[in-house]
Amino acid sequence: MYLRIRRILEGVFLRFQKRVIGLARFLRDYKIISFSILYIILDAVMITLLRNIKVSHTIGLLGMALLCIMFCKVGKKIKNKKGEISGRRGRQKKKKEWIGTIFELLFFVIITTLLVCLRITPVLRYEEDMQEKVLGFTNSSTILKGYIYDEPVEKHRSQQLVISVLEGELEGEGKVLPEGMLVQVKTASFYKFHLGQECELRGTLEEPENFEGFDYRAYLRDRKIFLLMNNPVVKCTSISERHHGSILRHGLVDMKNNLIEIIEEVLNEPQSSLLAGIIFGEKKLFSKFFDEGTRVAGLSHIVAASGYNVTILVVTTEKIFFFLPKKLRVIVGLIVIWLFAILSGLSSSIVRACIMGSISLLAIIFGRSNTVHVAIPLASALFVVAQPLIVFDVGFLLSLSAVLGLTYILPILLDLKAKVTKKFQFVDDNILPTLSCTLGTLPISILTFNTFSIWAVPSNTIILPIIDTTMFLGVLGIVAWNIFKPLSYIFFTITNMQLKYFEFVVNLIHSLDWGQFEFSGGASKFVSLTFLLMAILFIIYLYPIENEQYNYYLKSDS
């Protein structure tokens, strides 16, 4: 018995070792993948480091690290020479190869670090600059003129605006606010605001404060907001006089809002907000009870701009145009998702999701399975280059981890299921993708929300099958609204029923009042890290590889 267990364990270990080495070889060959992953990780590390340690210290540390490496290199070279003199050429050669690899790796890391530093320095300098400037503006009466920079966010007792300052002055002190500075404003929820509208605000500027263990300052800082203004007196110009910001974006957002108004005109709450969320990824306000319910049921991702709707679009176009050849279908899919991105006002999260979606579609066109392994890290790295602070954006991390879940966990689950039975196509189509997405996002959601709900998988399994038709019919309903209203009502009636079912599931799970576990801050970090490590290990061990015995990277002598 003991021997058997030992043999099994040895087998597991050997397979694992082989795969880790294979992965290392693969990463060594595909430098673009390793570079992308490294860039993303170092971006997060360096930003955290540079924010907490003074710049001079970091430069000093980096310098010292460089010196250490140089000394090591010199030391090794001397050692190698000694080795050569004493003979035993074969072993020395292997050792030399290893040292070479390590140096290559270190060189790679240093170069990436330098690139990361070059990119993030201006961002951090701006942050530091603003933080210094902000100190002089707080707690005194201010009049500022600015334009609405971002779409207003509805809250239960108020709404939040982000204003980009055009001109502003502290009353009596003559201090001038820097132009282009962003200020987050809390105001009564009944006002109607539009993107780009110019407003004059009179109130007191305040610095954000952290609350209930949530680092609100850091959260706002990542959005380049350093000042708040609560309940100011607001006077805005009429909507027709919008001269600030991108006109294209205003037009698109207005169009999206008009379409959402159609939904609101036909459907009631929470159905209207749910549909707006599913179609446009628009984060609308639910009642507190329902909002908590969606979280407990693990269904918030459906209604938030998590890029989930892009995935649905791809799947739905695949279903509808199943008779077209594969490549043509992909092209139709691409057109549809980009039309959708435009319809949803080109909001950054949707654009991100569309880029990710396009990559996976293009991977199908090019038909090389490796393309997707390159495309995901490369695209993510490009996002990080464009916006270095994106690595702290929960939405980005969630959509990335969902894509990773679909790419790396889904094949494992499909493989395992195929070994058990080939029947029940429904499981392959619905349950397993949900499960892999949920598992993929688990570490991030535990880390961010400090909760873990056991309902996520069952509730998604019974909800997701209806969502694509909901979205499809919702869009048809909107289109039909301006052409023939009775037809539109037919579509919306079906959508309404499906969303009532959604509401029923959420309320049912919420009323059970069981199954959600909360972690404290420290514990959530530990649990999330454990999940992440376990996921990585499982993926390495179980990821199905075609013709494994002939795989170049897994051959023992390659």
Listed ranges 214-222, 454-462, 467-475, 529-537: which one lies at the site for another protein (CB under 8 A): 467-475
- Of 323 and 550, nearer to another protein (C-beta) is 323
Our finding on whether 237 is near another protein (CB under 8 A) is no
Of the candidate residues 6, 7, 156, 243, the single one contacting another protein (CB under 8 A): 156
Listed ranges 62-70, 212-220, 396-404, 465-473: which one lies at the site for another protein (CB under 8 A): 465-473
- Of 176 and 188, nearer to another protein (C-beta) is 188
Structure tokens at 409: 């966990």
- Of 157 and 422, nearer to another protein (C-beta) is 157
- Of 43 and 503, nearer to another protein (C-beta) is 503
**Least CB distance to another protein at residue 159 (A):** 10
Task: Give the span between the Cα atoms of 489 and 154, in whole angstroms.
Answer: 28
String marking each residue 293-322 x if it binds another protein according to CB under 8 A: --------------------------xx-x
CB 5 within 8 A of CB 540: no
CB 532 within 8 A of CB 446: no
β-pairing, 225-230 vs 198-206, is antiparallel
β-pairing, 233-236 vs 198-206, is antiparallel
Of the candidate residues 8, 61, 66, 233, the single one contacting another protein (CB under 8 A): 233
- Of 271 and 358, nearer to another protein (C-beta) is 271
Task: Give the span between the Cα atoms of 353 and 376, in whole angstroms.
Answer: 12
Of the candidate residues 58, 387, 469, 551, the single one contacting another protein (CB under 8 A): 469
**Least CB distance to another protein at residue 236 (A):** 11
Coil, helix or strand at residue 376: helix
Residues 6+ apart with CB under 8 A from 160: 152, 153, 184, 185, 186
> Which candidate, 242, 300, 240, 249, places its Cα nearest to that of 270?
300
Of the candidate residues 2, 190, 514, 550, the single one contacting another protein (CB under 8 A): 190
CB 488 within 8 A of CB 480: yes
- Of 114 and 233, nearer to another protein (C-beta) is 233
**Least CB distance to another protein at residue 405 (A):** 24
> Which candidate, 235, 243, 242, places its Cα nearest to that of 143?
235
By the 10 Å C-beta count (0-12 exposed, 13-18 middle, 19+ buried), 188 is classed as exposed
Task: Give the span between the Cα atoms of 261 and 366, in whole angstroms.
Answer: 40
Our finding on whether 498 is near another protein (CB under 8 A) is yes
Residues 6+ apart with CB under 8 A from 5: none
Residues 6+ apart with CB under 8 A from 540: 16, 19, 20, 23
Residues 6+ apart with CB under 8 A from 253: 151, 195, 345
Of the candidate residues 271, 306, 445, 459, the single one contacting another protein (CB under 8 A): 271
Our finding on whether 323 is near another protein (CB under 8 A) is yes
Of the candidate residues 169, 207, 264, 292, the single one contacting another protein (CB under 8 A): 264
Of the candidate residues 83, 458, 465, 515, the single one contacting another protein (CB under 8 A): 465
Task: Give the span between the Cα atoms of 227 and 231, in whole angstroms.
Answer: 13
CB 404 within 8 A of CB 373: no
In the region spanning residues 364 to 423, those forming contacts with another protein, defined by CB under 8 A, are: none
Strands (E), 231-329: 233-236
Our finding on whether 235 is near another protein (CB under 8 A) is no
Of the candidate residues 132, 154, 167, 179, the single one contacting another protein (CB under 8 A): 154
Of the candidate residues 4, 54, 89, 192, the single one contacting another protein (CB under 8 A): 192
**Least CB distance to another protein at residue 427 (A):** 15
Our finding on whether 218 is near another protein (CB under 8 A) is no
String marking each residue 471-490 x if it binds another protein according to CB under 8 A: -xx---------------xx
**Least CB distance to another protein at residue 267 (A):** 6
Give the binding site for another protein (CB under 8 A).
Answer: 154, 156-157, 188-192, 233, 264-271, 285, 287, 290, 319-320, 322-323, 465-466, 469, 472-473, 489-491, 493-494, 496-498
